[in-house]
Amino acid sequence: MEWNIDTLILLLIPLTSALVGWFTNYLAVKMMFYPLEFVGIRPIFGWQGLIPAKRRKMAEIEVELVLGKLLSVEEIVNRLDAGQLTSAIERRLKQVLRRIVNDVMQQSAPNLWAALPVQGKNLVYSRVELDIPNVVRKMVHDFQQNVSEIFDIREMVVEQLSKDPELINEIFLKAGAKEFPFIERSGLYFGFLFGLPTMLIWSFYQFWWILPLGGLIVGYATNWIAIKIIFEPKRPHKVGIFTVQGMFLKRQKEVSRVYAEIIEQKLLNSQNITHAVLKGAGSAQLLELIELHVNDAIERYVALAQPYFALAVGSDDYFRMKEMAVKRIFEDSDKFLHYAHDYANGALNIGEDLRVKMEALSPEEFEGVLRPAYKQDEWKLIIVGAVLGMLAGVGQLYLMLL
């Protein structure tokens, strides 16, 4: 009976190692992503998920991959066609412009506008509406030529990912949808295998340090091996009848599709781009562009309507009228640009373009899609696994000595 109990305890060593390997790997994965914000007492006593904690750095790495190697903002915006864009927004733009013309004229030339009969006002509206395609075409052309000054796409993506830890987590979790569960499961398998030599050594030598050391090795090695299997070897290698390649790298086509969908739907869509253009650091340059074309249009309308219109209104009111028109069009632009989102998303075609280019990356380049999630602080995860494994070994030793 004594022998049976000892044998049972001995057999528990690889089973415990398997459990330790699974738990340390499971915890390592969770610690990469959670909690989203720091929990504990700064700066030492507490934890924040490695990716949320370094989300700005992670975002910069991802942006460099996507925009530095795969997508060009100039190439993207040149896909916009002024005619189709006008068609998408024209109906709503006409409504907005009628209200702006009416408000601007009431404030800058109230007497003149009040004296103008309905037919005259309708002629003004019609003249403005007739010129819409011409003005939009010029503005789209100038925007495309000066997009790097107006729109900082890198800033937009980095800022959005920096303020939204759940989104950057989603990118890594979906890109590594099969790799992260594998890390957790592999801890169970490798933990059991590493537990067998520990069991064998313990059966002959019951030194107190064997179980803690075995636990430390299990916690360390299971994390390290799992990460290596995911990314190594980078290129396919023949081993007998088998072809061996890093798990993640073998899924290049699948990951490219998933990654491109997230980037297009959550980051580089027409809604986010429009918001960044109107509210971002380059909005002043956009305002200048609008001012140039709106002032040019007003000058042409006035020249056609009445050469002495500016004199009748007064130079100060005339200047204020143009200034107000520019400001109102800029401020109300989201009201009509909203109708261009469906067209713009289809025209920009970012998701499909990104998928094709990601599929064409070399394995070394493609590794950069997911590797930053590990590379920055993978040593911390491995050390944490080793420490937890050692503590589990100490606990196992305590039970052995009871």
* Phi, then psi, of 239 in degrees rounded to 5: -125, 95
CB 71 within 8 A of CB 353: yes
CB 337 within 8 A of CB 63: no
The reported pLDDT for the residue numbered 309 is: 58
- C-alpha 163 chain-centroid distance: 11
Distance between CA atoms of 46 and 215, rounded to whole angstroms?
A: 24
Interval 103-127: pLDDT, tens: 888 887 788 778 878 887 888 888 8
The reported pLDDT for the residue numbered 305 is: 56
Q: Which parts of the chain register pLDDT below 70?
A: 1-6, 302-316, 371-377, 400-402
Interval 229-287: pLDDT, tens: 888 888 888 777 777 878 888 888 998 899 889 888 888 888 888 888 888 788 888 88
CB 156 within 8 A of CB 280: yes
CB 286 within 8 A of CB 268: no
CB 286 within 8 A of CB 218: no
